[in-house]
Structure 1
Amino acid sequence: MNKRWAIRDNADEDLVRKLSAELNIDAVLSSLLVHRGVNDFEGARYFFRPDQRHLHDPFLMKDMEEAVIRIEIAIAAGEKILVYGDYDVDGTTAVATVYSFFSKQYKNMEYYIPDRYKEGYGISTQGIDYAAQNGFSLIIALDCGIKSVDKIDYANTLGIDFIICDHHLPGAQLPAAVAVLDPKRADCEYPYKELSGCGIGFKLIQAYAEKNGIRFEAVLEYIDLACISISCDIVHITGENRVLAHFGLQKINTNPCVGVKTLIEVAGKTPGNLTISEVVFLIGPRINAAGRIDDAKHAVELLIACDEKAAREKGMMINSRNQERKGHDLNITDEALEIIDSDEVLIGKKSTVVFNKDWHKGVIGIVASRLTEKYYRPTIVLTQSNGHVAGSARSVLGFDLYEALCECKDLLIQFGGHKYAAGLTMLPENVEAFKDRFEEVVSATILPEQLIQQIQIDAELRLSQIEPKFFRILNQFAPFGPENMAPVFISKNVYVSGNAGLVGQAHIKMAVMQEGTAAFDCIAFNHGEYLPQLKPGVPFDICYSIEENIWRERRNIQLNIKGIRFKS
């Protein structure tokens, strides 16, 4: 697939010069900082030196005082408390965090994860009924609930109080809960708005600990779980999230909780050098697989485990579910590709909507992501579940998927999500009408350039600038993620040094140099088609990120090539 190379506008030259002088660093590094809102020495120190003191006072969050007081009352009165969370990574890490912390202070507690297939996302009537039937009078809901106005009203009629801990955008009306913790509330002045659901849970236990004289180290025991939620829920890695991710990643690599250590081991890795990216691709899918294929409670059981033998058994079972998930994922992806490739009308559309009543609901989100990568257009994968048609949607850069679904809402039973990912439910008889409507909306609103995948390039770089100090400082920009992505550079007129070769069936391994520079090792994933053109003496441009390659305890700088372009 051809991709657009989009070079970021130059940063303010005066600011770049000033920052370079103050920090004694390369102007390219200063421009990266300015683009991240870092304009002076103090800002750079805050950015490069995350500190636990940078975590905000949890009581700045609207309703935090009310939430803590209600928990204190419940504990003092011996009430039964139910910790309730969604079945994805963010929800299960949030439940594990809050349940583990409070169960060390108080024993009259349980946790509850809704069944993906029987109850669906968020707070369910079945979950509330379970609480009523089993004598729970307080539910702490994590990573869900901000739009569950009717469900909270129902719980109130049963004498069940709710504390909502959510990070999604509220609707026009807030639920009538005892406390609604969500920095995205219009009336919440909390300084940082992009916490994950587990992040909100972390702030709740931080507030309770602070008010009740519990040492902060007891809260930090769960910072590895907060890091996993931040990584896998694709929230911004800026501000407070950057602090949580920084220290959480340190804990993952040095002293992870038993469950996280087990997940790393069953993935074939050892703690020590894991990055945010590896957390996303190794730990996240295994936690998710529990709820996609079986029951997300297994993931919580693993994450709260204290016994290594029990954790190992649970981890192996979850790893097996992940292998099963991969099988469903690949089979359904192949079937979906066949549907698209055999239909000339569908190939020519600006959206993709595919439906098969027999597809496994637990993996259609992954399949939607794969189809979006291949065809690069707004994509929805539909299957049948409990008499309805359920769908998972993914978008492309710059296109607001949620707004497009709003234009189709009369054909939907319900939908929810955000700009780039969403879930939806409809009646089977509305599928064809929905396909047509969604295509109409996308065709009328998407820009031509949004249908071409883009590589965002941060700056031009000469290979000679990649020296040890530059690389050492660049590494301090990590942890990387949304709003702080690993920088991508462009270098022009580079040459192959020696021979380029194929690794696997589609990847290129080579070394490149510019005139007068040393050669740098490169890996170019899925660029095998360029191999015949990569001859000594033939100039070309590359865009790439810079990383450290570790192989059998040997470390060297490697360019991870995102794009290759030859002179026309």
Structure 2
Amino acid sequence: MLNQRVMRHWQLPTSASPSQLRSLGEYHPLLAAILWNRGWRDAAAVEQFLNIDWKQRHDPFLLRDMDRAVERIKHAVEQKQRVVVYGDFDTDGVTGVTLLMQLFKAFDLPVRPYIPKREGEGYGLNLAAIEKLHQEGLDLLVTVDCGISNIAEISRANELGFDTIVLDHHQPPANLPPAYAVVDPKRSDCAYPFKGLCGVGVAFKLYEALWRAGIQPNNLRARDILDVVALGTIADMMPLTGENRVLVHFGLQAMNESQRPGLKALLRVAAVEQGKIDASSVGFRLSPRINAAGRLVDARIAYSLLLAPDQAQADGFADQLNSTNIERQALTRDVQQAARELAQNSGQLDQRILVIVGEDFHHGVVGLAAGKLAEEFARPVLVMGKEEDRSRGSARSIPGFNIVNALAECADLFEKYGGHAAAAGFTIANEHIPELEQRLQAIANQQITDAMMVPQLPIDAEATFDQLNLEMLAVLEKMAPFGLENQQPRFCSRRVTVIEARGVGAENQHLRLRLQQGRHYQTAIGFNLGDWLAELHNGSQIDIVYTVGINEWNGRSSVQLTLVDLRLSEGQR
């Protein structure tokens, strides 16, 4: 349980006039109000957003170098060349490798996967792997979810005589690697209209480009690989807007109908029912188990699960991943608590950015701990696991502060680094850590304002309990799939009465409430809000922010509120 309560600023919605809401189209007033408050003003754009169509995808050849990638793969297919697919060890990388392996096997090419181990190899291409693959015999190397920063490694591949195609989505460096083709929507010279694809998304666009060019794999349809596209896109926390919204929408359909043994096994251990898979269950139940392999042991277990040929093998891999995920959860809690104590005891909480170094922090979970602490303390956090000569760490940021740009200003201190505006990873010699902290503090003092360190909680609409019913949920479902940049709608209800409050969970870390407003009652669950239990009693009046979902029990469906935040109503504080 957190040691301090984060006070968030509730951003209440403004009221739109009936004529403004009607200008969006003939929609339920609550749905129209949510869309209006989220900035939607164009009726045609709203129509396209709510009515997802497979035709809303973009031409894959708008991606820079996609024509070269297709040309090179066509040559490999014609010559039956030896191919290696090299991917990252997170869910995006693993699903990208899975998709490309299915693609190249459908072309009947001699192909093998290569997923580096976090321990010993780290993120991205490495020279030892390049040398090893050359010795094994290799004509074409295709990277997915990595490669954009590996100039030295790809230069060595060129010297050894094999070509490289980079499929990536990370921010490119000033100088691109000398690969045969570099396909990355974030290239400054790339005109692709949607920049939010993840690695497996870029791999899927390669599949589409090959089809359009008449280079069609045998018996491999889009629906056969869209399940892993959805899994990787959601797990990598890509925006569920634009083309990702299309890919995930149809990918979730594919997951709910998939006969992939590995997916069925994963659903079993995660207690998710096929047919009811949504973005939330993928993000919170499925992807953590896939990610756990690369964090603690070997991501190839997750890859083997997704391409398991039969149910018996798939079940064995799924059980391994489930056990690893339980271990990952415990390690994350331990590192988070230890890092919190280091920050508190060192007086760092007065700083605008936290740089925390632990002697025995497992590098596989430092990013998760950093994310939890960034949310808890409302400021960017770097957490590092210190080794003999160097430290490996992860950074997580807050809205408005681009963490990878901040690291770029300290690039001379790192052995390697990379990432996004909100998250990054790096390796640094221990002797450089004090200077890194000093420089980052100076950057943070210039760029992070007091207001940025007050977490904002946008609220989509105010609601009363009489409005909360299954019919309303059906209306809201038109906005799904929910995720980054298209969050599940948040509602606010004021002056609701606590009828019953109790703690749930092994340490009562969660809060379950029975609430009343007028003649209407609702149940609510608040994850990690158990510290409120001491302040609530029967009859307490509270204001709540929540999302609305369905609770199914004994064949009956009812509305359940999931609390995001709460506070005592005015007059009771």
Note whether the superposition's TM-score is higher than 0.5: yes
Letter of the 2:6 counterpart? N
Partner residue in 2 for 1:271? 274
Kindly state the Cα deviation for residue 438 of structure 1 after the two structures are TM-superposed.
2.6
Partner residue in 1 for 2:352? 350
Partner residue in 2 for 1:363? 365
Give the stretch that moved more between structures: 351-360 or 153-162: 351-360
What is the alpha-carbon distance in structure 1 between the residues aligned to residue 463 and residue 448 of structure 2? 33
Checking the alignment, whether the CA contact within 8 Å between 1:224 and 1:256 is kept in structure 2 is: no
What is the alpha-carbon distance in structure 1 between the residues aligned to residue 395 and residue 59 of structure 2? 36
Checking the alignment, whether the CA contact within 8 Å between 2:523 and 2:561 is kept in structure 1 is: yes
Please list the CA deviations of residues 499-532 of structure 1 after superposition, one character each: whole Å capped at 9, or x if unmatched: 33333414332333434x5222222333334445
Give runs of aligned pairs for residues 128-527 of structure 1, distance below 5 A: 128-210=130-212, 211-213=214-216, 218-255=221-258, 257-343=260-346, 345-385=347-387, 387-496=389-498, 498-504=499-505, 505-515=508-518, 517-527=519-529
Kindly state the Cα deviation for residue 215 of structure 1 after the two structures are TM-superposed.
8.0
Please list the CA deviations of residues 424-480 of structure 1 after superposition, one character each: whole Å capped at 9, or x if unmatched: 222112223333333333234311122233322122223333344432111221111
What is the alpha-carbon distance in structure 1 between the residues aligned to residue 361 and residue 125 of structure 2? 25
User: Secondary structure of 2:139's match?
Assistant: strand
Please list the CA deviations of residues 43-94 of structure 1 after superposition, one character each: whole Å capped at 9, or x if unmatched: 3342223222222222232222221121111121121111111111101100
Checking the alignment, whether the CA contact within 8 Å between 2:38 and 2:460 is kept in structure 1 is: no
Kindly state the Cα deviation for residue 12 of structure 1 after the two structures are TM-superposed.
6.3
Q: 1:16 to 1:3 in 2, by over 3 A?
A: farther
What is the alpha-carbon distance in structure 2 between the residues aligned to residue 537 and residue 333 of structure 1? 35
Kindly state the Cα deviation for residue 217 of structure 1 after the two structures are TM-superposed.
6.2
Normalised by the length of structure 1, the TM-score is 0.92
Letter of the 2:242 counterpart? G
Structure 2 runs not aligned, ≥5 long: none
Give the stretch that moved more between structures: 346-355 or 527-536: 527-536
User: Secondary structure of 2:303's match?
Assistant: helix
Kindly state the Cα deviation for residue 40 of structure 1 after the two structures are TM-superposed.
5.0
What is the alpha-carbon distance in structure 2 between the residues aligned to residue 429 and residue 170 of structure 1? 27
Kindly state the Cα deviation for residue 139 of structure 1 after the two structures are TM-superposed.
0.8
Which of 528, 544, 547 is equivalent to 2:549? 547
Kindly state the Cα deviation for residue 14 of structure 1 after the two structures are TM-superposed.
7.3
User: Secondary structure of 1:564's match?
Assistant: strand
Checking the alignment, whether the CA contact within 8 Å between 2:165 and 2:181 is kept in structure 1 is: yes
Q: 1:342 to 1:222 in 2, by over 3 A?
A: same
Give the stretch that moved more between structures: 364-373 or 382-391: 382-391
Letter of the 2:20 counterpart? V
Q: 1:260 to 1:15 in 2, by over 3 A?
A: farther
Which of 123, 126, 130 is equivalent to 1:124? 126
Q: 1:399 to 1:78 in 2, by over 3 A?
A: same
What is the alpha-carbon distance in structure 2 between the residues aligned to residue 472 and residue 106 of structure 1? 45
Residue identity over aligned pairs, in percent, reads: 36
Structure 1 runs not aligned, ≥5 long: none
Kindly state the Cα deviation for residue 274 of structure 1 after the two structures are TM-superposed.
2.7
Q: 1:200 to 1:385 in 2, by over 3 A?
A: farther
What is the alpha-carbon distance in structure 2 between the residues aligned to residue 386 and residue 78 of structure 1? 46
What is the alpha-carbon distance in structure 1 between the residues aligned to residue 259 and residue 349 of structure 2? 47
What is the alpha-carbon distance in structure 2 between the residues aligned to residue 351 and residue 41 of structure 1? 42
Please list the CA deviations of residues 117-168 of structure 1 after superposition, one character each: whole Å capped at 9, or x if unmatched: 2222112212221221122111111111222233222211211111111111
User: Secondary structure of 1:567's match?
Assistant: coil
What is the alpha-carbon distance in structure 2 between the residues aligned to residue 487 and residue 404 of structure 1? 32
Q: 1:216 to 1:418 in 2, by over 3 A?
A: same
Letter of the 1:293 counterpart? L
Checking the alignment, whether the CA contact within 8 Å between 1:101 and 1:219 is kept in structure 2 is: no
What is the alpha-carbon distance in structure 2 between the residues aligned to residue 13 and residue 126 of structure 1? 64
Q: 1:214 to 1:19 in 2, by over 3 A?
A: farther
What is the alpha-carbon distance in structure 2 between the residues aligned to residue 510 and residue 361 of structure 1? 37
Matched, 1:18 2:19: no
User: Secondary structure of 2:140's match?
Assistant: strand
User: Secondary structure of 2:500's match?
Assistant: coil
Letter of the 2:178 counterpart? A
Checking the alignment, whether the CA contact within 8 Å between 2:272 and 2:281 is kept in structure 1 is: no
Kindly state the Cα deviation for residue 557 of structure 1 after the two structures are TM-superposed.
1.0
Checking the alignment, whether the CA contact within 8 Å between 2:500 and 2:515 is kept in structure 1 is: no
Checking the alignment, whether the CA contact within 8 Å between 1:5 and 1:457 is kept in structure 2 is: no
Checking the alignment, whether the CA contact within 8 Å between 1:15 and 1:34 is kept in structure 2 is: no
Which of 554, 557, 560 is equivalent to 1:558? 560
Q: 1:252 to 1:494 in 2, by over 3 A?
A: same
What is the alpha-carbon distance in structure 1 between the residues aligned to residue 216 and residue 384 of structure 2? 50
Normalised by the length of structure 2, the TM-score is 0.91
User: Secondary structure of 1:369's match?
Assistant: helix
Letter of the 2:523 counterpart? D
User: Secondary structure of 1:500's match?
Assistant: strand
Kindly state the Cα deviation for residue 535 of structure 1 after the two structures are TM-superposed.
5.1
Please list the CA deviations of residues 102-124 of structure 1 after superposition, one character each: whole Å capped at 9, or x if unmatched: 21221311111122222221122
What is the alpha-carbon distance in structure 1 between the residues aligned to residue 71 and residue 151 of structure 2? 22
Letter of the 2:270 counterpart? A
Checking the alignment, whether the CA contact within 8 Å between 1:36 and 1:484 is kept in structure 2 is: no
**Alignment RMSD:** 2.4
Checking the alignment, whether the CA contact within 8 Å between 1:361 and 1:385 is kept in structure 2 is: no
Q: 1:14 to 1:557 in 2, by over 3 A?
A: closer
What is the alpha-carbon distance in structure 2 between the residues aligned to residue 260 and residue 15 of structure 1? 47
What is the alpha-carbon distance in structure 2 between the residues aligned to residue 386 and residue 292 of structure 1? 20
Partner residue in 2 for 1:4? 8
Checking the alignment, whether the CA contact within 8 Å between 1:411 and 1:434 is kept in structure 2 is: yes
Letter of the 1:317 counterpart? Q
Letter of the 2:425 counterpart? G
User: Secondary structure of 1:301's match?
Assistant: helix
What is the alpha-carbon distance in structure 2 between the residues aligned to residue 315 and residue 524 of structure 1? 29
